[in-house]
Amino acid sequence: MAKVSDSVLGNISGKIGPVVVYTRKGESIVREHVIPKDPQTPAQLAQRMKLTLANSGLKPLKNHINVGYKGTDITYRKLVGVAMREYIVGDYPNLCIDYSRVIVSKGKMKLPMYASAELENKTNSVNISWDTQIPSNSKQGKANDLVVVVCFNEKLLESCTASKTAKREEGFVSVALPKYWKTDDVHFWLYLTSNFAQNRSDSLYIKI
């Protein structure tokens, strides 16, 4: 490391040939430019693959996540970090996202105890049913809560949503999928929201 007077370098900073110049405590510092080592250890490669998977796998769900986590301190960027730690399974290089672990909505409203999905082959639609019961003293759920269904095609990395099409008390909704979607590749999440979308529930994962 070398120090030189400002009169020599003036306001110069950055990489100049084989050296890097920057200012620290009013003095110009000159260092040899060293290219960082990239040993590509298995741990590093696994971490990079996890980041790539988390970004590519959640990106089609970004808009749904931004809506589902609205009002919380969890941003999409934070959820990518969560995905790397909790949603990705397997051993490098055989890593993949377990979408049953993904949560696309976060809230305090009462979530149904269960939900199920059945395919309607003729129309390429999915019939989703859920438990409608709410404890009589519950302040976190009402019969007229609106149902939101998020649909995601893992193979095509495409998503869609069906919202405000059913109420909690109805216990059933039919969701039409794009004609070219194969249901074996599709994942579903259901969550509930209030009439004014001020409150919502956690999401419940559903697979045919």
93-115: per-residue pLDDT in tens? 999 999 999 999 999 999 999 99
Where does residue 73 rank: exposed (0-12), middle (13-18), buried (19+ CB within 10 A)? exposed
179 within 8 A of 81, measured Cβ to Cβ: no
Among residues 72, 201, 204, the alpha carbon closest in space to that of 142 is found at 201
d(CA 202, CA 110): 8
d(CA 60, CA 63): 8
Q: What stretch of H or E contains 187? A: strand 186-193
Instruction: Output the pLDDT for position 12.
Output: 64
Cis bond before residue 178 (omega within 30° of 0) = no
d(CA 139, CA 119): 34
Among residues 145, 173, 177, 183, the alpha carbon closest in space to that of 160 is found at 177
* Tally of CA atoms within 13 A in the half-sphere of 49 that contains its CB: 17
Domain 42-206 listed as CATH 1.10.8.60: no
Angle at 204 between CA 200 and CA 208, to 5 degrees: 140
93 within 8 A of 49, measured Cβ to Cβ: yes
The least confident of 37-41, 67-71, 91-95 is 37-41
High-pLDDT (> 70) share of the chain, %: 89
Supply the pTM of this predicted model: 0.78
The full set of domain ranges for the chain reads 2-32, 42-206
For the record, the structure tokens of 85 come out as 């730690």
> What are the tens digits of pLDDT across the range 179-201?
999 988 999 999 999 877 779 99
Instruction: Output the pLDDT for position 2.
Output: 44
